Structure 1
């Protein structure tokens, strides 16, 4: 299982203002969800938090993902679901090299808030299982989020244009070919000196309208295209990619998956291209023009 450091939990608490409703449900609120509500997607966030918490979601996950992402999980899996997610991995941009680096736990003499303020990007791998028609379906969801408190994506070759997000699972699982999805929303820094707020989720510009650009035996990847940020300021992005699987079983089965975010850096001519390869719980991005930084998170269940 991946380790959860106090800094990630603390950063999630600071960022909880992104969520429209507090995680802890008020005792006076009825958090019961009916079958009719699941069909109509009509829940409060407190009800969704209760469902996901009962299914095994960590407090940090409930803080990090928003209402629409919670709704997508429950609408897809229903009430009979189980969740495994130990929290996200935070990355910061090195002030000298400009590369993304995982945030390490602070030493006892460091102020935690100083380390939190350096977070630029969060990635999170989550496993969800549910029973449909008597068969257990496994889903891996990879979340990514560029933080308002950070410095945002690099400008070349165009913000997140040509950035990629990949998922891979270990041995013992068979990916369902029509079981892919992806969506994202954006938030632009305006001339008023503030971010203007997150737009609704959409699929256009990420992969093939939400479907992966590349899919193989162990995984799939999606690349951003045609989402150039406005020239007036920085545009941040958050979203998720997912794939569904069934367990083949056998002694070689390993319950592990990974999400990897590949940030594109164009060369002096403004060009960038990359290839992707998959192995058991492994995603490798190899640039042939330009260079790239990677941020990843894994999950065992």
Structure 2
């Protein structure tokens, strides 16, 4: 009986020691240490609380520990072709056809100021989070796209792109570690002087789960008076009856277009300024 009790106590000790390090990473950051980095950067506490551990880690690993918070936005936008601009979508608005409902997914943007080799630059992140499990084919987020675009007056820095995806099985589960394996080619599929667009992949084995993904680009100001704004657009792929989907991607000044060549798509937009 004593032996069984000793084994039980040992098991509990091992479990507790494992639990205490569950939010430690190979790079050695605890969640408390990451929170301190974001607090020193001037990040609003509400935003810090909203971010999961691996989102914070992804930002620190890609932007370093010495960054300054610039802006964030969780407002939803849609492009109004009549006005030729983005307009905010209210929760009470009837959302147009072809637009991903805010009850299904959220799209957020974060911007940070950094210094790279003595030059001031802007790190721009966009993050989608499926609030419900994607049910349309292709599987999960397969063939979906997410992009970031800037107006003129900025120089996009090659070699400083980043992309990662997180998953979880159930709504109340903690988000898993960020991995670039579900970012096609682990780099943008399209990029130019205005921005970049990434594509995601998923197998049938990963259909019935939740997804969160984050992409990032770095830009240097090259204009004396640039428009301080960035936009992001997500595209959810929908295969046709033959199982085909193809899309033509365009990136312009603070604009991204996804035009299906086969199948169809739904989109969501976000906008931030600083």
Q: CA deviation at 1:236?
A: 1.3
> 1:160–1:228: 8 Å Cα contact kept in structure 2?
no
1:245 aligned onto 2:231: no
In structure 1, the residue matched to 2:105 is 121
Question: Which runs of no fewer than 5 residues in structure 2 stay unpaired?
Answer: 1-18, 21-25, 78-87, 94-101
C-alpha distance 79-270 of structure 1, shift in aligned 2 (>3 A): closer
Count of equivalent residues: 233
> 2:183–2:199: 8 Å Cα contact kept in structure 1?
yes
Q: CA deviation at 1:195?
A: 6.9
C-alpha distance 138-270 of structure 1, shift in aligned 2 (>3 A): same
Which residues of 2 match residues 103-252 of structure 1 at below 5 A? Answer: 104-105=90-91, 119-147=103-131, 150=132, 152-189=133-170, 198-208=175-185, 210-230=186-206, 234-251=208-225
> 1:120–1:146: 8 Å Cα contact kept in structure 2?
yes
In structure 1, the residue matched to 2:3 is none
Of 244, 247, 251, 1:271 maps to: 244
Which residues of 2 match residues 45-124 of structure 1 at below 5 A? Answer: 45-89=31-75, 104-105=90-91, 119-124=103-108
Q: CA deviation at 1:282?
A: 1.0
> Whose Rg is larger?
2
RMSD: 2.8
C-alpha distance 236-124 of structure 1, shift in aligned 2 (>3 A): same
> 2:72–2:111: 8 Å Cα contact kept in structure 1?
no
C-alpha distance 90-66 of structure 1, shift in aligned 2 (>3 A): farther
Q: CA deviation at 1:256?
A: 0.8
- Normalised by the length of structure 2, the TM-score is 0.75
